[in-house]
Amino acid sequence: MSLEFLSADLVRPHDGSSPVFRSPISPLLHDAGATFVERAGWEVAASVGSPAAEQAACRQAVGVADQSWRGKIELQSAPESVAAIAARLAGGPLHLTRASNHDDVWWCLLSPTRALAVTYPERTPEVRARLEEAAADSDVAASVADVTTSLCSNAVVGPLARETFARVSALDLRERELGPGGLAAGSVARVPGIVLRERADTYLHLFGAAHAEYIWTVFLDAAESLGGRAVGIDALAAGGPGEARG
């Protein structure tokens, strides 16, 4: 069974134009003077006022970037079915505290009955189709849902990224507890969230879209107190300690 939520690639033109998907953070980014590009049907902030300052923040302190346009596809089924589908698509078994990056897609086991694939928007239709095909082949009922628009995400990048989280959450993100590829779920700024450590100094924080503006404000305040700032995808693509990808 496939449950379709709002998916940018499924939008069809009307009267010669197609709507562009916007993150709940877009109004705040517009107010901050951000410049935008379109990426696979999404409005994406390329810069938030000063490319040079943004790159410096990611190298020397911390940058916070809206990544709500990242694709998120959820699989739910019985534990044996989730495990079998994950092993087939993620290149091996998944673990509750560690995500697997296979073919540039992050595969996250959120519970024995729930897995999440996180990808870039250009790949979202393909990953969703592969999950739907695998779910259809399963002997146990399985559901696939595109939850991209209901789960927002921010990248927190730079040498002070972990300190930024420490100011808003009690999650233990120390190296011995959450190395690269580590996955942690819990309260972040008093909101249920998921933290994926993509690289040494690059964290992806996922949370419900209803809390997007609040989470953004809390993290931006924490980052600015450490000498950081809001950044766009150009600063992430420019690299730095964690060589984050935009």
pLDDT value at position 39? 94
- pLDDT the model gives residue 238: 77
CATH 3.30.70.1520 in the chain, residue ranges: 71-146
Class of domain 71-146: alpha beta
Question: Which residue intervals of the chain bear CATH 3.30.1360.120?
Answer: 26-69+150-237
CATH class of 26-69+150-237: alpha beta
Per-residue confidence (pLDDT) for residue 115, from 0 to 100: 97
Low-confidence ranges of the chain (pLDDT < 50): 1-5, 240-243
First to last CA, the chain: 32
Closest by CA position to 246, among listed 97, 74, 36, 53:
36
The per-residue pLDDT for 19 is 78
pLDDT of residue 37: 97
Query: For 175-185, how does the pLDDT look when each residue is reduced to its tens digit (9 = 90+)?
Result: 999 999 999 99
pLDDT digits over 40-66, tens only?
A: 999 999 999 999 999 999 999 999 999
